[in-house]
Structure 1
Amino acid sequence: MTPDLPSLMARVVRQDIQGLHAYAVQPSAGFVKLDTMENPYPLPEALQQALGERLGRVAINRYPAERTEDLKAALAQFAGLPEGCALTLGNGSDEIITMLSLACAVPGAVFMSPLPSFVMYGLSAALQGVRFVGVPLAADFELDERAMLAAIAEHRPSLLYLSYPNNPTGNLWDDAVVDRLIAAMGEAGGLVVMDEAYQPFAARDSMARLAAHPHVLVMRTMSKFGLAGVRIGYLMGRSALIAEIDKLRPPFNVSVLNAEAALFALEHADEYARQAAEIRAQRQRLYEALLAMHGVHPWPSEANMILARVPDAAAAFAGIKSRGVLVKNVSALHPSLANCLRLTVGTPDETTRLIDALRASL
């Protein structure tokens, strides 16, 4: 007898999975796309041609092997990996978060993060059956040090994620507070994951913390660097710890084409640095324009997006979209984000269109 599909799903698919919503991606064809914090700049034509020719010579009939090791070595050099540390690769940061969740899902484990922050921290914990504790940020989205320290002492988390700069708020937290949280996690016997997805646009990073503390990991991605379509994330930490996490990496999780494209990008890091500098300049221009708009409150950002509170986020989002620009309405992600839009920084022309569309929509 062939079972009916609803009954079959009810029996074999976990109930908590059935209650989840899939990650939603807004259709973007025909829009100025400023909703997912991508680098808006393509490679110059000469580099596009050189990359295409290079990818055409890749042996796609073979499984990835040594080339991913070459990529790891190149990333280690690019990031300035400290002595005694290693790195592992993921299909974007999302896969690395999954690997961390799998590795640290011991019975009774707790994962922790400030909130609002990157949604995948809590989702990945839930998928592994691990309790997740979110600690609300203080005013202006700063870390609530007292609440964080109390939560660490009470729950003794195995993992503390610190998005640095934070998504979706864009800010770098107070370094002294971050260092005290790292010390508290050391006393609690847990790991601190410094998520530096937006490092190309930030004034500070955590490489010194990585060198100084064996319980600190640094996670980065090449997506904001300019390779969102290539899907390369990497995690750095003490060699013995990375070796354990690397056991959970799916075989051949980074394709030969992705690895080759990433190596090509690292060989032309000066072009991506130039692009990042232009994005930082447009970020400042957008911030100043937002400050001048009546009823709009933007927060200073160290990322490639700006969080701004508007009088009516739903109406502003619809008005901006009707004018051909796509942004992200984050109002529903957390109570502290009520009436907030997350605005990705684009090219000069895209920034002009965003400013005009938002001003007309207020």
Structure 2
Amino acid sequence: MTQTLPPALAQRIRTDIQSMAAYAVQDATGLLKLDAMENPHRLSPALQAELGARLGAVAINRYPGARVDDLKAALALHIGLPAGHALMLGNGSDELISLLAMACDVPGAAIVAPLPGFVMYAMSAQLQGLAFHGVDLTPDFELDEAAMTRAIRQHRPAITYLAYPNNPTANLWDAGVMRRLIAEAAAIGGLVVIDEAYQPFSSASWLDEIKRDPAANGHVLLMRTLSKFGLAGVRLGYMVGPQALVFEIDKVRPPYNISVLNAECALFALEHAEVFAAQAADIRAQRERLLAELAQLPGTRVFPSQANMVLVRVPDAQRAFDGLKAAGVLVKNVSKMHPLLANCLRLTVGTADDNTQMLSALRQLK
């Protein structure tokens, strides 16, 4: 039962916070969980035992220290960190998004991002007191270059977010449009944050563009997470950018924000990167299967995907969501997030068996 805050205490909490809704996590008890873009694969028993032994030997009585630096070095090697760039760790991408808003909270600061997009961009702006300006995508979920350009020139944002691929639409955007918007942000002295949360499933990465033309991307930060890599429970994100820029943003990071257990898990995963690469390859193959089979369902429109999710428009999203849940399958009903998402469901790509169960449930909807 929800309790009401006593008036005296309510005076101490910001009124805009009191009017907000907390980030909702759906109860998945007893259901096939295909609502949160998680990697469905678990470690083999042998790797579970090996990781358990590693974690058991960690000095949890000590604050995180050099092992976190080891993780940064391993990530730098894993991605091929460009010369002159640095890497910063966060407790998931969510913390990095919050820290960026905090670091850029100068008087009159604003954030611009396409909509529909990741809800944390707007939420971080509101929590930190920055203005947020969303710019609608086109009906086909492409960047509206003219509208984005106007927003950047008018609002002069401290941060422009470009998710690559985007969530929840799952698509990559035109690289030429991206380059021009990045140049627009440079012209007003703003940062651009390329959010590559779904990079393991994508055919392109902006990191290649940064390496190809570092001068044009001198104000660009690249953000990734290990959640989609296969470590959603570990909560570890990282951000790459020019050294001087990353060093300034790193000043607002809380000390010891990455636990020794999280760091050790991530190091273990990077040492077994081929296992997670094989999992990602399987997910990409299953995604293509889903795209093909969903396209055969009457009255259904399936949108292109470069992530581990598929956006699909159905005749009645709420009815389909309820029918799937009754059949034991939990997906995400995004139909009320934005008018462009009318009657859309977001489906996480699961294992072959997961996807067979979901497709069967979809075919049986009345």
- TM-score normalised by length of structure 2: 0.97
Give the structure 2 partner of residue 87 of structure 1.
87
Corresponding residue of 2:253 = 249
Structure-to-structure mapping, 1:287-302, within 5 angstroms: 287-302=291-306
Q: How does 1:39-188 map to 2 (within 5 A)?
A: 39-188=39-188
* C-alpha distance in 2 between matches for 1:325 and 1:178: 36
CA RMSD of aligned residues (A): 1.0
Worse overlay, 166-175 or 179-188: 179-188
Deviations 1:145-179 (CA, angstroms, capped at 9, x unpaired)? 11111111111111000010000000000111011
Partners of 2:340 and 2:110 in 1: CA distance: 24
- For 1:140, what is the secondary structure of its paired residue? coil
- Structure-2 separation of matches of 1:208 and 1:148: 23
Given candidates 255, 275, 289, the residue that maps to 2:279 is 275
Which residue is equivalent to 1:284? 288
Separation in structure 2 between the aligned mates of residue 148 and residue 299 of structure 1, nearest angstrom = 22
Task: Tell me if structure 2 keeps the 8 A contact 1:210–1:218.
Answer: no
Give distance in 1, aligned partners of 2:317 and 2:350. 20
Alignment of 1:219 onto 2:189: no
Q: 1:361 aligns to what SS in structure 2? A: coil
The answer as to whether partners of 1:210 and 1:237 remain within 8 angstroms in 2 is no
Measure, in 2, the Cα distance between the counterparts of 1:274 and 1:49: 20
Q: In terms of mean alpha carbon deviation, does 257-266 or 6-15 score higher?
A: 6-15
Displacement of 1:6 in angstroms is: 1.4
Would the alpha carbon gap of residues 5 and 348 (structure 1) be closer, same or farther in structure 2, given more than 3 Å must change?
A: closer
The question of whether the paired residues in 2 share the 8 Å contact of 1:41 and 1:347 is answered with yes
1:320 aligns with 2:324: yes
Q: Secondary structure at the match of 1:231?
A: coil
**Is the 1:320–1:326 contact (alpha carbons within 8 Å) kept by the matching residues of 2?**
yes
Equivalent residues of 1:209, 1:216 under 8 A apart: no
SS at match of 1:12: coil
SS for the counterpart of 1:176 is: helix
SS, match of residue 25 in structure 2: coil
Matched residue of 1:219: which SS? strand
Q: Secondary structure in 2 aligned to 1:217?
A: strand
> What corresponds to 1:343 in structure 2?
347
1:328-357 CA distance string (max 9 Å, x none)? 000111010011000000000000001011
Whether the 8 Å CA contact 1:156–1:190 is kept in 2: the answer is yes
Deviations 1:219-272 (A, max 9, x none): 000000000000000010011111111111111111100000000000000000
Q: Quote the residue 2:189 is aligned against.
A: 189
**Structure 1: which 5+ residue stretches go unaligned?**
none
Identity of aligned residues (%): 61
TM-score (norm 1): 0.98
How many residue pairs align between the two structures? 359
Aligned residue number for residue 22 of structure 2: 22
Cα distance per residue 1:96-136 (max 9 Å; x no partner): 00000000011011100000000000010011111000000
Q: Which moved more, 1:247-256 or 1:342-351?
A: 247-256
Q: Give 1:210 shift.
A: 3.0
Name the SS for the 2:114 alignment partner.
Answer: strand
**What SS is found at the alignment partner of 1:247?**
helix
CA drift of 1:80 comes to 1.1
CA distance in 2, matches of 1:15, 1:209: 43
The 8 Å contact of residues 113 and 133 in structure 1, kept in 2 or not, is answered as: yes
**Which residue type is aligned with residue 144 of structure 1?**
D
State the 1:9 CA deviation.
2.5
Shift of the alpha carbon at 1:360?
1.1
1:74 maps to amino acid: A
Q: Give the stretch that moved more between structures: 15-24 or 209-218.
A: 209-218
Secondary structure at the aligned position of 1:132 is classed as: strand
Aligned partners of 1:308, 1:37: CA distance in 2, in Å? 15
Give the whole-Å Cα distance in 1 for the aligned partners of 2:45 and 2:204: 32
